[in-house]
Amino acid sequence: MRIRQWVWAGLAAAIWPALTAAAEIANYSPVTGQRLTNPEPGNWMLYRRTYDGQGYSPLDKINTTNVKNLVPMWTFSTGVLEGHEAPPIVNNGIMFVATPMNQVIALDAKTGEQIWRYKRQLPEDLFQLHPTSRGVGLWQDKLFLATTDDQLAAIDAKTGKELWVTRMVDAAKSTPITYQGKNDRQYVAVLAGGGEVRSPDNPGGRLYVFALP
């Protein structure tokens, strides 16, 4: 009897993230080209916040005089092993965390409460030595994720539901970058093959550019 209880407890712990009820973000702020070019001080909507890649935040509430007083407010366990290399992406109080094994989690940045969790099912015969993720790209009310099985997935930012998927090659560890081109056309660019464009030193690198409908 006790063995059976242990088995059920183990199964519950394994599948609990998938069973967690998903909520919907009620007041999501659509991401525009203007907001990506000039992000609000409290937002971090690109891999290094701005297109120039400086990784600088203008917020100054935390500084050299008070940093020693910081204490944890909340913690969140993703339940996923392997290295987490993607920076948290923040849009007006909503934090998006991309994890290894094709998961994206939407959190309330103030409380750490999970709002929804996206998980893409991988092919059973897929082997990926380091199934890390470089993060997601934001545009309007969608997230874009380069998955471990070389797909570009569009996800509803409010609900976490998969909207569409398209095939790529060798793009599993890349960060989708969204931008607005000429005539206000919207694009998603994905650097593949080690995150670099093709060059003499990196002949396997590729750049994928997708025009959004």
| pLDDT, tens digit, 9 for 90 and up, residues 87-133 | 999 999 999 999 988 899 999 999 999 999 999 887 777 666 667 88
Confirm whether 58 is domain-assigned. no
CA dist 12 to 7, 9, 18, 21, 116, Å? 9, 5, 10, 14, 18
Confirm whether 1 is domain-assigned. no
Separation of alpha carbons 206 and 192, rounded Å: 5
pLDDT of 169 > 50? The answer is: yes
CATH number for the domain that contains residue 123: 2.40.10.480
Task: Name the strand (E) or helix (H) holding 103.
Answer: strand 103-108
Confirm whether 7 is domain-assigned. no
* Mean per-residue pLDDT of the chain: 80
Burial (Cβ within 10 Å: 0-12, 13-18, ≥19) of residue 73: exposed
Q: Which region among 8-17, 82-91, 97-106, 160-169 has the lowest average model confidence (pLDDT)?
A: 8-17
What does pTM read for this prediction?
A: 0.74
| Number of independent structural domains in the chain | 1
Give the residue, 144 or 210, on which the prediction is more confident: 144
Confirm whether 125 is domain-assigned. yes
Confirm whether 41 is domain-assigned. yes
At 22 the pLDDT is 73
What contacts 24+ positions apart, CB below 8 Å, involve 107-112? 107/76, 111/74, 112/73, 112/74, 112/75, 112/76
Confirm whether 59 is domain-assigned. no
Confirm whether 20 is domain-assigned. no
Confirm whether 63 is domain-assigned. no
Confidence of residue 55 (pLDDT cuts 50, 70, 90): very high
Please give the residue range of the domain that contains residue 131. 29-49+82-211
Cα-Cα-Cα-Cα dihedral sign, residues 124, 125, 126, 130: positive
pLDDT of 208 > 80? The answer is: no
Task: Name the strand (E) or helix (H) holding 4.
Answer: helix 2-19
Q: How many residues does the chain have?
A: 213
pLDDT of 86 > 50? The answer is: yes
